[in-house]
Amino acid sequence: MKQKLWPAPLKTVNIVDRALLASLRKGLMLAVPFILAGSVSLLLRSLPIERYQIFLQSLFGGLIYDFLFLIHKSTIGSLSLILMITVSYAYSEKADRQSPFLYPVLAVSSYMAFTYNGKDVFSTNIFDVSWMFTALLVTVVSCALFDYFYRILKITKSRDHSGFDSLPGIAFSYTLPGFAVLAFFSFSNLFIRHFSASSDFNNIGSEFLLKIFDEVGNNFFGALLFIFLVHILWFFGIHGNNILEPVAQAVFQSKIEINAQLLQNGKEPVYPFTKTFFDVFVLMGGSGCCLCLIIAVLIVARKSTAGRLGRIALVPALFNISEIMMFGFPVIYNPIMLFPFLITPIVVLCTSSLATYLGVVPVICKTVEWTTPIILSGYYATGSIAGSILQIFNLILGILIYIPFVKISEKRQYRLTQKSISETIQYMMECERKGITPDFSATKNRYHATAQMLTYDLRVAFESDQLQFHYQPQVTYDGTVFGVEALLRWDHPVYGQIYPPLVITLAKEGGFLDELGYSLLGKACRDASTLSESFTQPLKISVNVVPSQLEDDLFCERLKQILEKYDLKNITLGIELTEQIALLSTKTIHTRLSEIRKLGANLIMDDFGMGHSSMMYLHNNQFDYVKLDGNLVKRLLDNRRSLDIIRSINQLAKSLHFKLVAEYVETLEQRDLLYHTGCSIYQGYLYCKAVPLAECIRFIKNMDTK
């Protein structure tokens, strides 16, 4: 019997519905490319090296300098607008409406209705970072309200709607709910402006936060509260740095000019806590001292998926861009990482505050952009090497805090990944039993995320030549090895052996099935060449080809090139096709099969039953070998009909001149019954399971000596 590579069925796990938070998280992830683009442009524009700045501002008359500014302004400078679009779109996927574009339009319209200050022209300032809290609040509320109003105000079309197009009908059904949402925010705007003297009071998020920090003040407790809020927001998938940007600018960064003026007048600076202080000494690598986390991951889990992610995220983190690691590790919604994610920045805040208080490190009196890399930023901000030394000390301290939690998280992630892969494999098997083709690309498929992860891992395994063949010998009744079947094996670093049909499905959905198929054909022929060097007797090596590969016009040409590359000598290649090829029975397929036989390869039909399509396909195409449906062989001893069907197939084999091969042969009883029906080639555990090539060669040599 073919080796079983999958576990027993697992019970379905109920997952708590966190659709709203999931929409926020996905929306922020969709915005990451824009954040990265804006961050890189800011880095290139503001790197604090005097000669570099002179060169950049003089290059092409300052065009490059202005070009970088436009990128930054249109991305991070318009982040509220970008997040309204991405978060509302993410919400629309959950809502499953026929027109997902409606949600971003509704969110932006609601936001403009809510923030309009009564003047003739809308100000574009409402789309910058300082309004982000309000923008996200309005976005989420507008989407939720629209769903609510849609359910209670939905207008059903009349059954008698001759000539009534579906698109106008959809648009009409959205009119009242959309109007209700816009009316709500317009009324809210008028109400607030009527009772408030401030024309910008509608920026409720910034106003609220600024009032809190005005009360706390610019001191250690204010700094502690700021760092805590930034990270607790981040933990729930909300970009805390951007939400608190108005506070950072008004309460903290504004004091740096006072420090500079005091220093210029020969006095001591009095405000140690500034935005630059946080960027330089606390947010090293980004939120949560992300650089500490990445280095901890590279120390503890460098060979895992997290380690690969760490290597990707390391360079951006050197410039304090943390989004890749925040969403990828993940830190967000990961309860194990909550403690180190909060405590690490708080601890380094304390050490940095103490160092500044004791005068070990000068008080910062100079603005440094947050994208300036570590060590350079410490020196430039303080004007002293002590600033760089403090950064290195904080970095080491943060790494030591993170390491034990990364270990725990990796163990937990390992267990969860194993479980999710097991469930995905079970789902794949269930689909096969029902004759359904699974669609892992659909976001609604509960196994979508796991399949995406596996597809990425599969491509990495394929490109690094980790996919291998195991070979199961085929033996005749007299004990002679007739041939071997190449069976695909992928040893996943977390789960182990992955169910082969799932591998093929993932490669197909990943868009590299043809590339993988040709590579595997080449690998099989390379191994066949090794077999030919070990044996002089004729042998056959069969390899599975999926039906869709035969539709490639270049298939036979590529196969010819592979056969010419390897000297197979006494080895005959067999192209093994499933019975599904009957469903693709076209003139093109018939021609392709004929061309394959002309190249000297055998044609083998796998899992042959007694269906009408199978019989007709055998009648129209000359197969050299037919492998019996495994269910017939398994039931041979306890089902008389299976024996009668096999006898009938053997009669068909004689008349159409093909040979029978029986898989799943596990006992001598099965083999002897098959022999008396006319089948004399066997494959199964009675002789050998699928094994690596070297072990297969040893098996054949042992059989030859018997």
Between 160 and 676, whose confidence is greater?
A: 676
Regarding whether 273 and 196 lie in a shared domain, the answer is no
Regarding whether 561 and 685 lie in a shared domain, the answer is yes
Q: In this structure, what DSSP letter does residue 203 have?
A: -
pLDDT at 619 over 80: no
pLDDT at 614 over 90: no
Query: Considering the chain, what is the average pLDDT of its residues?
Result: 83
Boundary-marking domain end, from 399, 414, 429 = 414
Regarding whether 124 and 262 lie in a shared domain, the answer is no
Boundary-marking domain end, from 372, 393, 414 = 414
Regarding whether 626 and 566 lie in a shared domain, the answer is yes
Q: pTM of the entire structure? A: 0.65
Between 286 and 353, whose confidence is greater?
A: 353
Regarding whether 221 and 198 lie in a shared domain, the answer is no
User: Is residue 499 in a domain?
Assistant: no
Question: Can you give the residue range of the structural domain that contains 181?
Answer: 19-156+167-202
pLDDT at 211 over 70: yes
Q: What is the pLDDT of residues 465-480, one digit of tens each?
A: 889 999 999 999 998 9
* b/e 510-529 (16+ beta carbons within 10 angstroms → b): bebbbebbbbbbbbbbebbb
Regarding whether 479 and 594 lie in a shared domain, the answer is yes
Q: What pLDDT, on a 0 to 100 scale, did the predictor assign at position 704?
A: 74
Regarding whether 110 and 239 lie in a shared domain, the answer is no
Q: With pLDDT > 90 as the criterion, what percentage of the chain qualifies?
A: 30
User: Is residue 348 in a domain?
Assistant: yes
pLDDT at 579 over 90: no
User: Is residue 507 in a domain?
Assistant: no
Boundary-marking domain end, from 387, 414, 441 = 414
User: Is residue 136 in a domain?
Assistant: yes
* b/e 551-562 (16+ beta carbons within 10 angstroms → b): eeeebbebbbeb
**492 has which bridge partners?**
496
Do the strands 496-497 and 491-492 form a parallel or antiparallel pair, or are they unpaired? antiparallel
Q: What is the pLDDT of residues 234-262, one digit of tens each?
A: 887 677 777 788 888 888 888 888 988 88
Regarding whether 241 and 183 lie in a shared domain, the answer is no
Half-sphere exposure of 185 (CA within 13 A, CB side): 29
Q: Report the C-alpha gap between 559 and 526 in whole angstroms.
A: 13
**CATH number where 578 lies:** 3.20.20.450
Q: Report the C-alpha gap between 110 and 101 in whole angstroms.
A: 15
Q: What pLDDT, on a 0 to 100 scale, did the predictor assign at position 646?
A: 86
Q: Note whether 609 and 629 are within 8 A (CB).
A: yes
Tokens representing 595 are 């061309």
Determine the average pLDDT of the residues in 102-108: 90
User: Is residue 428 in a domain?
Assistant: no
Regarding whether 409 and 265 lie in a shared domain, the answer is yes
Q: At what angle do helices 79-95 and 102-115 cross, to 10 degrees?
A: 130
Lowest-pLDDT range, 115-129, 497-511, 587-601, 658-672?
Answer: 115-129
Q: What pLDDT, on a 0 to 100 scale, did the predictor assign at position 412?
A: 85
Tokens representing 79 are 């982040």
User: Long-range contacts of range 7-10, CB-CB < 8 Å, 24 or more positions apart?
Assistant: 7/422, 7/425, 7/426, 9/426, 10/419, 10/422, 10/423, 10/426
Q: What pLDDT, on a 0 to 100 scale, did the predictor assign at position 612?
A: 43
Q: What is the pLDDT of residues 400-431, one digit of tens each?
A: 999 999 999 888 888 888 888 999 999 999 98
Helix, strand, coil share of the chain (percent; to 5): 65, 10, 30
User: Is residue 611 in a domain?
Assistant: yes
Tally of domains in the chain:
3
Regarding whether 272 and 152 lie in a shared domain, the answer is no
pLDDT at 616 over 70: no
Regarding whether 253 and 277 lie in a shared domain, the answer is yes
**Where residue 347 falls among pLDDT bands split at 50, 70, 90?**
very high
Q: What is the pLDDT of residues 367-394, one digit of tens each?
A: 888 888 899 899 999 989 999 999 999 9
Q: What is the pLDDT of residues 266-325, one digit of tens each?
A: 888 889 999 999 999 999 998 889 999 999 999 998 777 788 888 888 888 888 888 778
User: Is residue 496 in a domain?
Assistant: no
Q: Note whether 336 and 226 are within 8 A (CB).
A: no
User: Is residue 390 in a domain?
Assistant: yes
Q: Note whether 579 and 608 are within 8 A (CB).
A: yes
Regarding whether 226 and 179 lie in a shared domain, the answer is no
- CA 183 distance to own-chain centroid: 39
Q: What pLDDT, on a 0 to 100 scale, did the predictor assign at position 12?
A: 32
Q: What is the pLDDT of residues 477-531, one digit of tens each?
A: 998 999 999 999 999 877 888 999 999 999 998 888 888 989 999 999 999 999 9
